[in-house]
Chain A
Amino acid sequence: MASVKLTKVKKVYDNKVVAVHDFDLDIQDKEFVVFVGPSGCGKSTTLRMVAGLEEISDGTVEIDGVVVNDLQPKDRNIAMVFQNYALYPHMTVYDNIAFSLRLQKMPEDLIYEKVTNAAEILGITPYLMRKPRALSGGQRQRVAIGRAMVRESKVFLMDEPLSNLDAKLRNEMRAEIIKLRQKLNTTFIYVTHDQTEAMTLADRIVIMKDGYIMQVGTPTECFDMPANLFVAEFIGAPKMNIMKTNLIKENGKYYVTPFGSKIEVTGEKGEELKKRNVEPKEILLGVRPEHITLAKPGEGITTRLEVNEMMGSELHLHVYTEDETRLIVRVPTINLTADQRTNMVFGTPLNITFEGKVMHFFDPETEKNLLLD
């Protein structure tokens, strides 16, 4: 159990490429933090710097108040699960899990107890005498987790542990990790490029882009109040619709005017705009696909349907407006009549609208959220 503190951590490679810029983060004891971002954003590099597998160019990494910059991975009291499992192929599952304990010169009977206990928790007891090559992907990943578990280390690092699994198995293992977290009750740092994983697992998400932190916050904070356009589009699937429009103020009320319509900003967002006394100007308006609803013909924004993706419980409608702006609308199928469902084909005119309380406002130049500092 330990806190992890990164202060102005920087990674510069030999070819002068900067992978991580001044990374500042305080991770509390027993917290589950997820680094998420597109590939090349520096999330794995940061994790590897914490693990000691990558040299730290500048700044400090502290584990439990001790600066570990110059410590070997083995002296940092960490455990790590790799994306490609990294099981030792010449050893049985038992030996794989026992490897670190044997290096610690732990007595064999204690090792036996720990390994069988971990195997029990992970459901891999029947495979203990097998070699990794005789296991499926999911089983291998369990072994990799078991190997990390028995170390009972202060910090548990996971580098895209589910990326190599198929979608169904990934969902199962995600639930397993949540359960495991409750059992281990230690500090977790988890790296993924999948925002769903980040949202479901994390206490706090760190969203990264090009080596910079874009936002740090709880999943709800990041979803409800994205700090900037990048976070807004990265968190949530399908991604948030962004429209260039004007924010206007009439009689003390704020309105937006996307595609010739006029919608009042209501709810907390409206209050916040008033409180901050935001200047009316051209803005980037963000609305999540699930917050857009179909309107009656003649009302709201007039669009035409381009693609209709049937997802089962909902339709993802890709529509385009008169000025060719592409938008995505998520419509629960339960709200549609059979006629509506079958008639939605390419070119079908659709009117859409959204409520004033679900909007996000971004500055077109800085791309920052107007309602956050």
Chain B
Amino acid sequence: MKKTDSAAVQPVMKKHMGIKAANRISNTILYVILILMSIIWLIPFVCIVVQSFRVYPTGMSRYLFSHPDISFRWGFDNYINLWKSNFPKWYLNTFIIALFVAVVQTVIVLCMSYTLSRFRFKLRAPMMKFMLILGMFPGMLTMIILYQVLKDLGLALENAVPGLMLVYVASSGMGYYVSKGFFDTIPKSLDEAARVDGATRAQVLFKIILPLAKPIVIYTILTAFMAPWGDFVFAKYIVGVNPSAYNVAVGLQDWLSTSANVSENYTKFCAGGVVVAIPVTILFICLQRYYVEGVTGGAVKG
């Protein structure tokens, strides 16, 4: 009896060990691939950061793996040069645009999402379909006509900053999908309970829905801030050659627009890149925990 037992157990054990070993091998392969991918992904960032601290003799800046004969020293010169240039102006332009867009777009998107999630009106479904179809046209299609319109309004070229704000904010209502989807998951009975408790629709939104929708509010703010912060194509087209109205992306690109400029400005450009990344990085670090934090537990019977 005992013999048959152990005989039966042995192949199972072997099989078990086999699975373990196979798991280990596949995990190792996966990790190697992932680490390699991470290195490839990180190289440009490392290059920019490292290069931003290298100071070359005038006109001699090169890429990360530069000629060994060209000597350099480490220092903050690039950053100091940055602030002596037009860069602070560009930075301010971008910051004003992005902040304005982040605030206005977030308000519009959240109101829109709440309305579409909670109210039922005749044109609701046709409107959502219409916006879905409209959203399928690439925004670039509108670029030429937008330029003309803004120029006529006096909001292009040297006045591009308010013009860009207008452009970025204009269609923000159409970005309601993600937050509407989130609002839909918040039970309607919470709204109803609050309304019976004496809240107005606005109080329901601000006191009940938004605190529960923190992750999606943060997401909306971040995306609303990021788009104008890093935009190049639209800004470049609308601003033309008016350095006072550049945003950082256009300004930094301008430094590298000719090959002669590249040698001159490359390290300064890298320093600019690092400075541009700072606020976004801080924003992400501060707000990322809300992405994962679930707050709706215990609201209603699951």
Which residues of A are interface residues toward B (Cβ below 8 A)?
14, 51-53, 72-74, 78-80, 82-90, 99-100, 103-104, 131-135, 137, 140, 147, 151, 164
Contact = CB atoms under 8 A, between A and B. Distances in A.
Interface stretch (B78-86, B153-161, B294-302): B294-302
B192 interface: yes
Interface string B144-180: 0000000000000000000000000000000000000
A146 B107 CA distance: 34
Contact of B195 (A53, A84, A134, A147): A53
Given A74-B200, A103-B203, A86 B299 contact: yes
Contacts of B297: 89, 131, 133
27 contacts: A14-B120, A52-B195, A53-B195, A53-B196, A73-B195, A74-B199, A78-B196, A79-B196, A82-B300, A85-B301, A86-B189, A86-B192, A86-B299, A87-B193, A88-B193, A88-B299, A89-B295, A89-B296, A89-B298, A99-B207, A103-B197, A103-B198, A131-B298, A134-B298, A140-B301, A151-B198, A164-B301
A128 B167 CA distance: 49
Given A87-B298, A87-B300, 19 more contacts: A14-B120, A73-B192, A73-B196, A80-B196, A82-B192, A83-B189, A85-B300, A86-B192, A87-B299, A88-B190, A88-B193, A90-B211, A99-B194, A99-B197, A103-B197, A132-B298, A133-B297, A134-B298, A140-B298
Nearest to A153: B196
B192 to A, nearest CB: 5
A131 B297 CA distance: 9
A137 B299 CA distance: 11
A86 B211 CA distance: 15
Contacts of A151: 197-198
Contacts of A53: 192, 195-196
Nearest to A130: B298
Contacts of A164: 301
A53 B297 CA distance: 24
Nearest to A79: B196
Contacts of B218: none
A158 to B, nearest CB: 12
Closest 5 CB pairs of A and B: A133-B298, A84-B300, A100-B197, A132-B298, A133-B297
B208 interface: yes
Contacts of A51: 192, 196
A90 B197 contact: no
Contacts of B295: 89-90
Nearest to B208: A88
